[in-house]
């Protein structure tokens, strides 16, 4: 094919493309007034629901409508496209109704917002023992002169908040290698307290033993389960050693120092060697050189200011097909970046789940509140877990 033939072919393709686009524009011009009329009718539905106190979401009716529309076309691909089309329209309609019903005796995000000011000179508890990575996170967030003390368990940290003995608790929530620390997110949902900040701490595990010990002497290694998982490859090189999960990395170091047994070692940070008088038997033993843990600051009170850019929430959904897809569509259509989604089992309901999400935004912004309200309307139970910012 010569150059002239190629040019003619390109002109032919461009002409055809222009014709297709013109036809799409014509169809869109016909769809627009119908869509606007449909939205007016949605407002009428909102007025009716306001009068009788009905919820915006009627998931059973939505499901029936979607199935009936899919039945009008043949072919799996067309059915899927029709489903997506009408699901989007109904989601937009539901958002308008939700917006118009805010303040009409409905629990919306505005009802959950009662932010307090940060506490001056706070009392802080952190998980583990002195020298733990969690204490490093507390120092990074609150400063070296902060009033802080340790608690041996996650539940204990929440109990200290509940009793008023502490204003803030510092807890690990996620590791870059092993993922979410499930016990902590379960406790967040249980207590209904709030994340007011987060801080990242690089993890540099060492194997610590008593002075005089060598690697060949070690028969038992203590650490928190996360420390063991994060150092699994190194531990394989030790041969036949017993791995024992303990309360935390720092408490493991404390135990090894107290026992004074050359056959015992702990996986913990280097700072624990000096603190507890231990010997560093091996350094940087974590599987990943980029190992980092995210720590959260938890309070009984919600704190939000203009700098906050991350929202955490938990919710349940009706145990029906398509429910999670519908909620995810709220974030996508609202242009809010969903950065994390995971589920945890509901202990009183077999094979049903609480979903935990992190997404970008500030609830002082009206658009973010509207999208969040649309999410709330579509959930069974909704818990706001915080709106906060990472401390660099």
Q: Tens digit of pLDDT for each residue in 345-368?
A: 988 777 789 999 999 999 999 999
Give pLDDT tens digits for 112-125.
Answer: 888 899 999 999 99
Tens digit of each residue's pLDDT (9 = 90 or more) over 145-199: 999 999 999 999 999 999 999 999 999 999 999 999 999 999 999 999 999 999 9
Q: Report the 10 Å Cβ neighbour count for 260.
A: 11
**pLDDT over 70 for what percent of the chain?**
95
Q: So what's the pLDDT on residue 118?
A: 95
Given a contact cutoff of 8 angstroms between Cβ atoms, the answer to whether 296 and 195 are in contact is yes
| Residue 12 resides in a domain | no
Structural domain includes residue 226? yes
Q: What band does 105 get if pLDDT is binned at 50, 70 and 90?
A: very low
- DSSP H helices, 260-309, are 271-276
Q: Are residues 363 and 235 in the same domain?
A: no
Q: What is the DSSP letter of 105?
A: S
Same domain assignment for residues 186 and 291: yes
In 10 A of CB 125, how many CB atoms? Answer: 25
Q: Are residues 198 and 175 in the same domain?
A: yes
Total tally of structural domains belonging to the chain:
4
Out of 196, 249, 293, 379, which one is annotated catalytic? 293
316 and 363 both lie in a single domain: yes
Is 293 a catalytic site residue? Answer: yes
- Asked if the model's pLDDT at residue 90 lies above 90, the reply is no
- Reading the block at residue 244, the tokens are 């024992």
Whether residue 321 has pLDDT greater than 80: no
Of 333, 322, 318, 320, the C-alpha closest to 374 is: 333
Query: Smallest Cα–Cα separation from 205: which of 256, 123, 255, 270?
Result: 270
User: Smallest Cα–Cα separation from 128: which of 204, 218, 227, 241?
Assistant: 227
Average pLDDT (275-286) is 97
Number of other residues whose CB lies within 10 A of the CB of residue 109 = 22
374 touches 334 (CB < 8 A)? yes
Q: What is the CA radius of gyration of the chain?
A: 28
Half-sphere exposure (Cβ direction) of 257: Cα atoms closer than 13 Å: 18
- 143: region left, alpha or beta (phi > 0 left; psi from -120 to 50 alpha): left
295 is catalytic: yes
pLDDT of residue 106: 52
Number of Cβ within a 10 Å radius of residue 116: 13
Whether 239 is covered by a domain: the verdict is yes
Q: Which of these, 153, 278, 141, 244, lies nearest to 196 by C-alpha position?
A: 141
CA–CA dist 392, 384 (Å, integer): 24
List phi, psi (to 5°) of 238. Answer: -85, -10
Whether the per-residue pLDDT at 109 is higher than 90: the answer is no
For position 211, which CATH number holds? 3.40.190.10
Considering 126, 295, 315, 356, which one is annotated as catalytic?
A: 295
Query: Are 218 and 319 found together in one domain?
Result: no
- Domain extent, residue 346, equals 306-392
Same domain, 232 and 293: no
| 93, 326 Cβ separation under 8 angstroms | no
Q: Which residues contact 276 (CB under 8 A, 6 or more apart)?
A: 131, 208, 253, 254, 256, 257
101 vs 112, 309, 380, CA distance in Å?
16, 26, 18
Model pLDDT for residues 214-231, shown as the tens digit of each residue: 999 999 999 999 999 999
Rounded-to-integer distance, Cα 280 and Cα 203, Å: 16
Q: What is the pLDDT at residue 15?
A: 86
Residues 163 and 290 in one domain: yes
Handedness of CA 137, 142, 144, 145 (dihedral sign): negative
**Token pair for residue 287?**
């599987």
């Amino acid at each position: 094919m010569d150059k002239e033939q190629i040019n003619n072919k390109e002109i032919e393709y461009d002409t055809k493309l222009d014709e297709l686009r013109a036809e799409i524009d014509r169809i869109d011009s016909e769809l627009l007034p119908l869509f606007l009329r449909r939205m007016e009718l949605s407002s009428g539905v909102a007025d009716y629901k306001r009068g009788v106190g009905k919820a915006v979401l009627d998931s059973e009716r939505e499901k029936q409508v979607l199935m009936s529309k899919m039945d009008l076309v043949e072919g799996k691909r067309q059915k899927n496209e029709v489903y997506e089309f009408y699901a989007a329209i109904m989601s937009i309609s539901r958002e308008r109704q939700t917006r118009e019903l805010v303040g009409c005796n409905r629990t919306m995000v505005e009802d959950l917002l009662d932010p307090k000011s940060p506490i001056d000179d706070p009392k802080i508890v952190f998980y583990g023992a002195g020298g733990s990575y969690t204490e490093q996170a507390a120092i990074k967030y609150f400063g070296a002169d902060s009033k802080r003390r340790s608690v041996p368990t996650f539940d204990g940290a929440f109990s200290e908040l509940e009793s008023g003995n502490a204003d803030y608790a510092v807890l690990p929530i996620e590791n870059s290698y092993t993922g979410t620390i499930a016990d902590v997110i379960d406790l967040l949902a249980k207590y209904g307290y709030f994340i007011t900040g987060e801080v990242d701490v690089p993890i540099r595990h060492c194997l610590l033993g008593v002075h005089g010990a060598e690697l060949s002497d070690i028969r038992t290694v203590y650490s928190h389960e996360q420390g063991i998982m994060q150092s699994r490859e190194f531990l394989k090189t030790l041969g036949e050693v017993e791995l024992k999960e303990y309360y935390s990395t720092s408490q493991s170091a404390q135990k090894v120092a107290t026992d004074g047994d050359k056959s015992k070692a702990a996986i913990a940070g280097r700072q624990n060697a000096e603190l507890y008088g231990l010997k560093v038997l091996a350094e940087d033993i974590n599987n990943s050189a980029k190992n980092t843990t995210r720590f959260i600051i938890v309070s009984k009170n919600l704190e939000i200011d203009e700098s906050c850019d991350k929202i955490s929430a938990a919710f349940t959904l009706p145990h029906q097909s398509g429910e999670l897809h519908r909620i995810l569509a709220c974030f996508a259509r609202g242009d809010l970046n969903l950065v994390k989604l995971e589920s945890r089992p509901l202990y009183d309901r077999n094979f049903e789940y609480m979903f935990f999400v992190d997404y970008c935004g500030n609830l002082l912004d009206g658009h973010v509140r509207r999208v969040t309200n649309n999410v709330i309307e579509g959930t069974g139970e909704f818990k706001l877990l915080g709106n906060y910012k990472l401390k660099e």
